[in-house]
């Protein structure tokens, strides 16, 4: 989901993303638009309103997609299944086939938004485990210290059956726990990105913005430093954490008093040592900027046990621009929050399929965008 300010205005094949040399720009012609399709407003599936789709993954075993909803107002914590038709020059259709409720460890539904915020959930990303078809999904948690009795709900990554039943979760490192002090994650800036490593042995999650102790969030004048954490899939324990250099906000708001932000809205494995990060920015008077970067983990410093990143002395991951969606000739680019590798086209190209979160805002649009990668 967009930050409050903005709303107010695999076993994945190595080489599926462009292999870029350090310091080199993305080679021309490697990424092209396949097509785009806006999702209809007021679409209802299984008695729930479809919208706020913040994560997407492609299940190669079934040929279906799963999409998680960042919402507990129009329905319970849930994910949808769908079929998306892709051709060389079009997204030929999006057919939602079902909805499943994601449950708490005791087997009950999460409270609806506003009912019990201390037990609430903020779903953001979802992945199908290619080993067994189970689901991994993330929540950003809650942090509100504005009142006399602040409440804190830790973010999490959990595993569930395809039916939504809880199977377990990952152990949070101390620096990712919510705190009433200005340390740890900021509200609504935690686990937007989630993926399985290319070999399936690890689970990785990225924060949307910087932790308090790692410095300020991105502005028009400067970028920020986010953290990406890897866990051992079998034990659920964190094994490393790397620093990701987030870009500055790419344009000034118009008017200057308008809101603007930038953050990592999704993470996707692209090879043994490489990942894609979606940087999603919103700028009043300008709109959305969606840029996809490939980053390499080799040579980066493990900062799992570093209290702060403000004093330097570490090496972040290296990143290179793969595609700017705003330069592909799309009719418009909305609030892209999810991406997955889709099926291979008859041309031999792999596809990247994106989904936009409409925030149930009349001025925004749920959207499916597909690009082809050579």
Concatenating the DSSP letter of every residue in 9-45 gives: ---PPTTSS----TTPPPPTTSEEEEEEEEPPTT-EE
Cα–Cα distance, 295 to 317 (Å, whole number): 6
Contacts 24+ apart (CB under 8 A), 138-142: 138/55, 138/191, 138/192, 138/194, 138/205, 139/191, 140/188, 140/189, 140/190, 140/191, 140/192, 140/208, 141/178, 141/185, 141/190, 142/117, 142/118, 142/178, 142/187
> Tokens 């079998």 identify what position?
234
Model pLDDT, residue 120: 76
Model pLDDT, residue 374: 87
Distances from the Cα of 284 to the Cαs of 7, 249, 288, in angstroms?
10, 11, 9
Model pLDDT, residue 112: 84
- CATH number assigned to the domain with residue range 4-373, chosen from the 4 options 1.10.3470, 3.40.50, 1.25.40, 2.115.10: 2.115.10
DSSP state of 372: E
Model pLDDT, residue 75: 92
Residues 6+ apart with CB under 8 A from 296: 22, 273, 274, 317, 318, 319
Whether pTM > 0.75 for this model: the answer is yes
Question: Residue 338, Cβ neighbours under 10 Å: how many?
Answer: 30
Model pLDDT, residue 88: 80
Phi, psi of 174 (to 5 degrees): -55, -35
Tell me if residue 159 falls in helix, strand or coil: strand
Q: Structural domain boundaries of the chain?
A: 4-373
Cα–Cα distance, 101 to 80 (Å, whole number): 9
Q: What is the mean pLDDT of each run of 10 residues along the chain (374 residues)?
A: 38 28 41 96 95 97 97 94 93 97 96 69 96 97 92 96 98 98 97 97 98 98 98 98 98 97 98 98 97 98 97 97 97 96 94 97 96 94
Nearest CA to 76 out of 42, 95, 52 is that of: 52
DSSP state of 7: H
Model pLDDT, residue 5: 36
Nearest CA to 352 out of 372, 337, 324 is that of: 372
DSSP state of 329: T
Rg (alpha carbons) of the chain, rounded to whole number? 19
> Tokens 């599936």 identify what position?
45
């Amino acid at each position: 989901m967009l930050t409050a300010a903005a709303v107010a205005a695999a076993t994945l094949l190595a080489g599926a993303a462009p292999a870029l040399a350090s310091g080199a720009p993305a080679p021309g012609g490697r990424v092209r638009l396949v097509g785009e399709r806006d999702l209809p407003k007021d679409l209802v599936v299984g008695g729930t309103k479809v919208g706020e789709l913040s994560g997407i993954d492609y299940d190669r075993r079934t040929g279906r997609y799963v999409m998680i909803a960042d919402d507990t107002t129009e329905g319970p914590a849930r994910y949808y299944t769908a079929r998306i038709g892709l051709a060389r020059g079009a997204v030929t259709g999006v057919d939602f086939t079902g909805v499943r409720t994601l449950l708490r460890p005791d087997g009950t539904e999460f409270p609806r938004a506003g009912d019990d915020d201390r037990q609430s959930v903020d779903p953001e990303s979802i992945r199908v485990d290619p080993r067994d078809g189970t689901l991994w999904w993330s929540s950003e948690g809650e942090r509100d210290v504005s009142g006399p009795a602040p409440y804190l709900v830790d973010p999490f990554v959990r595993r569930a059956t395809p039916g939504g039943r809880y199977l377990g979760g990952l152990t949070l490192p101390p620096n990712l726990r919510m705190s009433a002090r200005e340390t740890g994650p900021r509200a609504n800036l935690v686990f937007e990105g989630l993926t399985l490593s290319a070999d399936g042995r690890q689970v990785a999650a990225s924060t949307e913005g910087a932790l308090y102790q790692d410095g300020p969030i991105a502005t028009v004048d400067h970028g920020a430093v986010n953290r990406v954490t890897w866990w051992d899939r079998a034990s659920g324990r964190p094994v490393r954490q790397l620093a990701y250099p987030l870009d500055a906000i790419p344009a000034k708001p118009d008017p200057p008093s308008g809101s603007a932000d930038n953050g990592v809205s999704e993470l996707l494995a692209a090879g043994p040592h490489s990942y894609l990060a979606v940087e999603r920015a919103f700028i009043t008077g300008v709109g959305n900027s969606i840029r996809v970067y490939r980053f390499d983990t080799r040579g980066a410093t493990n900062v799992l046990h570093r209290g702060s990143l403000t004093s330097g002395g570490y090496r972040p991951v290296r990143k290179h621009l793969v595609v700017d969606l705003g330069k592909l000739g799309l009719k418009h680019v909305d609030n892209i929050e999810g991406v997955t590798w889709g099926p291979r086209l008859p041309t031999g190209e792999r596809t990247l399929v994106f989904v936009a979160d409409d925030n149930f805002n009349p001025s925004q649009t749920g959207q499916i965008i597909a690009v082809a990668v050579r």
